[in-house]
Amino acid sequence: MIKLFEQAIATVSALPDDVQDELARMLLEFAGGEQAPYELTPEERADIEASLAEAERGEFATDEEIRAIWAKHGL
């Protein structure tokens, strides 16, 4: 394994489990790994629909809200 990849794995390993799972799915997709499509839960589908409606109304996060999210995840 190359050093950069090892560094990425170490960094991702420190993130919350749900974030690790999502990043693993993305990596498998980029690498061409076969994996069944993710099935949204009813709650996830409702969240996405609410987010799309907010975007259509022009309601977006402020710069301060975005910084807080990044800080929460140590980024």
pTM: 0.43
Report the domain count for the chain: 1
Domain that holds residue 56: 3-72
Q: For the chain, 75 residues long, give each residue's pLDDT as a single digit of tens.
A: 689 989 989 999 999 999 999 998 888 888 886 667 778 999 999 999 999 999 999 999 999 999 999 999 988
Tokens representing residue 68 in the block? 């807080």
> What integer pLDDT is reported at residue 29 of this predicted model?
82
CA R_g for the chain: 16
Question: DSSP 3-state helix, strand, coil percentages of the chain (rounded to 5)?
Answer: 70, 0, 30
Q: CA-to-CA distance for 17 and 62, rounded, in angstroms?
A: 27
